Structure 1
Amino acid sequence: MELRQLRYFVAVVECGSLSRAASMVHIVQPALSQQMGQLEQELGVQLLHRSVRGVTPTPAGHALYRHAQQMLKMADQTQDAVRNSVGEIGGPVKLGLPSSLALVLVGPLVGALEMRFPGISLEVYESPSSYLPAHLINQQVDLSVLVDDLTLPGIHAEPLLEESLYFAQPRHAPVLEGADFTLASIARVPLMLTTHATTLRHLVDRAFTEAGVLPIVKAQASSIQTLLLMVAKGGAGTIVPRSALALHVAADLLRANIIEPRIIRRATLAYSRLGYLSPAAGCVRDVLREIADQVIGAEKWFIDAIPDTQP
């Protein structure tokens, strides 16, 4: 079995077609079919179902596909490790982030990496927070910032920061009676919240349940950025982490107050224990921790630092 064959096989599974895969890997279709046949003969199992509508992996093919992805990734990372050992650290690093934290962390992170590790190519994957763990487990990203105490098998997570949730509403909206920013008071105001695809919504719903009150949910959005624009243009309120208001274009149109008693959202910096963390990914991890500490120290948004528990 050769790495070249595994690359061909992964291309076939992902394309669902021998002709499209042949075009992707730049060989003619008969040669690709021959390589797939040799691979099946060597392993002694059928890997692909072939039909007029394309090809799909058999159960054995699914198993090989998962292992092939890991093997190919390790082969690529081995090349990076060797090159980095004799020269400048570099290579691609994929980082997953929830949109609110991306607003305040990505800019300083990119600037620091360009200055200290110009050979690193950063790819930022911004996604609803509840999708980020799957991206990390499936090794679609090398590192990810996860939120709200997600404990996952096979994942190493380091405390990064924690922040309080705020009630935000348009500046022209009436102030809550008595400036009482408790959930009981907020529940009387029509709200626009993030969808249930976000861990923020799970945190907010849990807090309302524990407070024994039912909110009036007027609208929902999967993106915090879209949500804030909706709130700024309307009359409803919302509940967001303070980081979401730090650099958002709609922030000047909103009035934000911390909710009491405080609702805390925690963020961790996570990576897979099963995969190989490249030198470049290790550098991004270290720089991101520094950036988080700097942003907290500069009070660019009102959050509380978590003590560094690293040995």
Structure 2
Amino acid sequence: MDLRQIQYFVALYEEKSITKAARRLHVVQPAVSMQIRRIEADYGVTLFERTTSGVYPNQAANTVYPMCLEVLANVEKLRRTLRHGSGKIDGTLNVGVPPSIAHGILAGVLMDFQQRYPDVQIAVSEGYSAHLVDWLLQGDLDFAVLGEFEDDRRLHCEPLAIEELRVLTSTATPVTGDSITGRELQRLKLILPSTKNLIRILIDAEFERAGLTLAPSMEVDSLATVFAAARQPGWASILPAAAISDADLDRGMRSLALVEPAIRRTLVASFPTLKPSSAAAHEFLKALKWAVLQAGGIEILA
């Protein structure tokens, strides 16, 4: 099997559909069928059972699949080594980020990165986790920053950092000190993400573990609206530290440490298994890690 055949086999194995595999590989459907048939003919083996509901791997395919993943991982490692060895970092970089990163630290990271690597053309797409994962699998992104590990064999994740969630409120809101407890927070008017939002799920779980219940006055998934509401005295929101920029704090807002419960989340960089990562991607991730740390990250993960 050559490298292209391995990529086609892995895509079909994971998608269980020629149509989806072709879309993922950005090729026409007959190309996928032809490569799989060629593998089966060359080695005298059947790898997939064709049915009206899909294409399903058999035991032979199950045996070969992890070996193919190992080959792709080694090829990616080789390419990365060669790119770093050349000393030149260029090309295009398509990055996906959640709204919290886009609003807060991203602009500074982009400006610094562009100054250091002017030959890299960067395109950034903003979206929530479900959208970012879809774009990754469609091959539209080189990597995406997610707020949790995705249990999907079509993706591999690298941990970035652990960051804390903080309370954002107006400087006119009567709070003493630089921290606020969950119980004290209950006395303010809260604007939180909807219950389907991953950050909201994390917040509710940690408050429940602490024996507290939050009753937000508003549930809004628009970060711009959240910031506008939190500027009003007596209102507050709970946001990842990286979402709060220095510009926000210069416009009459405060960032308070949330205690009892203290809430943290893990950020990861997620890559498509079939799309090798580049030197530019790894340099960008290093810059992003340090920006998260400076914004209120707890720990940088190797």
TM-score > 0.5, shorter chain as reference: yes
Q: 1:14 to 1:261 in 2, by over 3 A?
A: same
- Which range moved further: 193-202 or 67-76? 67-76
Partner of 2:203: 204
In 2, Cα distance between equivalents of 1:260 and 1:4: 50
- Which range moved further: 240-249 or 214-223? 240-249
Partner of 1:116: 116
Give percent identity, aligned residues only.
Answer: 21
- Highest CA radius of gyration, 1 or 2? 1
Deviation at 1:239, TM superposition (A): 2.2
Q: Is the 8 A contact 1:89 1:280 kept in 2?
A: yes
In 2, Cα distance between equivalents of 1:110 and 1:237: 29
Q: 1:56 to 1:39 in 2, by over 3 A?
A: farther
1:59 and 2:57 aligned:
yes
Q: Is the 8 A contact 1:189 1:216 kept in 2?
A: no
Q: Is the 8 A contact 2:47 2:61 kept in 1?
A: no
Deviation at 1:166, TM superposition (A): 1.1
Partner of 2:39: 39
Report Cα offsets for 1:271-303 as digits up to 9, x if no partner: 78x99764333322333344446xx3xxxx6x3
Q: Is the 8 A contact 2:89 2:119 kept in 1?
A: yes
Partner of 1:244: 243
In 2, Cα distance between equivalents of 1:33 and 1:257: 55
Which amino acid letter does the alignment assign opposite residue 109 of structure 1? V
Alignment of 1:79-228 (within 5 A): 81-82=81-82, 84-86=84-86, 88-93=88-93, 95=95, 97-124=97-124, 126-128=126-128, 145=145, 157=159, 160=161, 162-163=163-164, 165-168=166-169, 175=173, 181-228=180-227
Aligned partner of residue 104 in structure 2, secondary structure = helix
Partner of 2:256: 258
Aligned-residue CA RMSD in angstroms?
A: 5.4
Q: Is the 8 A contact 1:169 1:256 kept in 2?
A: yes
In 2, Cα distance between equivalents of 1:193 and 1:225: 12
Which amino acid letter does the alignment assign opposite residue 116 of structure 1? R
Report Cα offsets for 1:15-63 as digits up to 9, x if no partner: 8449x77x95379x5x765444223333511436365xxx832124985
In 1, Cα distance between equivalents of 2:138 and 2:32: 27
Which amino acid letter does the alignment assign opposite residue 112 of structure 2? A
Aligned partner of residue 214 in structure 1, secondary structure = coil
**Structure 1: 5+ residue stretches without partners:** none
Total equivalences in the alignment? 287
Q: Is the 8 A contact 1:170 1:236 kept in 2?
A: no
In 2, Cα distance between equivalents of 1:248 and 1:120: 27
Q: Which has the higher contact order (CA 8 A, sep 6+)?
A: 2
Deviation at 1:206, TM superposition (A): 3.8
**Structure 2: 5+ residue stretches without partners:** none
In 1, Cα distance between equivalents of 2:227 and 2:48: 49
